[in-house]
A and B are shown apart, each in its own frame.
Chain A
């Protein structure tokens, strides 16, 4: 089944403790992206990647890192999480040509206390 898999689904952590949210897709998509969703603010892009070893900042990159060492994986790293990073996070992927609508992962609800 074609899908984007995110883990974990829920995470509660403390301020300053490094964490990684994993994202993997099995559709051979070139494009992958991370979004955060907050009430009243919609979906805001954090980082994106056009292909392996190609990443760039989105609209709200501060406090986040990403890597794209393999085509299928695009982890989101919070080196020193803070309470303002409490949010619902979605990974998404799409091809670069043809039908380039996003496929979203199931989401990760992160709480930083």
Chain B
């Protein structure tokens, strides 16, 4: 069935370093790839997303890249800050008009940024 694998499960970096989280999806029909950040005790919040017709998208210190051939997408955070510490989830979905519209989530990556 549909599956999204996310790595690593935990990631610890020094403040100012870069962090990269990688996801692989199984359904080649997936065309929408959001990333969510969940701070401790709070709801997941959308931080960036990318569609399959785009290879890369950037928003200040965060960027997402997509390799459709390899069915990989990655989140890149540059110049990390302690407030970036959170759990990050990737997800994949097909077009809502063609299926249930369900987002398939990865297992999450706990990012710790050490001051």
Contacts and interface: CB of A to CB of B under 8 A. Distances in A.
A101 interface: yes
Contact of B44 (A31, A41, A45, A90): A90
B96 A96 contact: yes
B100 A56 contact: yes
Chain B binding site: helix, strand, loop or mixed by DSSP? Answer: loop
Interface size class of A (residues with CB under 8 A): 20 to 34
A58 interface: yes
B107 A42 contact: yes
Given A96-B97, A101-B34, A58 B44 contact: no
A94 B101 contact: yes
Nearest to B108: A42
Nearest to B41: A107
Contacts of A104: 43-45
Contacts, number: 52
Interface string B68-98: 0000000000000000000001000100110
Contacts of B45: 104
- Interface size bracket, B side: 20 to 34
Nearest to B44: A104
A100 to B, nearest CB: 5
B96 A58 contact: no
B102 A48 contact: yes
Contacts of A99: 49
Given A50-B100, A94-B101, 6 more contacts: A42-B89, A42-B105, A45-B102, A100-B101, A102-B44, A104-B43
Interface of B: 32, 34, 36, 42-46, 49, 89, 93, 96-97, 100-103, 105-108
Interface of A: 31, 33, 40-43, 45, 48, 50, 56, 58, 90, 94, 96-97, 99-107
Closest 7 pairs between A and B when the two form their complex, measured CB to CB: A104-B43, A96-B96, A43-B105, A42-B107, A101-B46, A101-B34, A104-B44
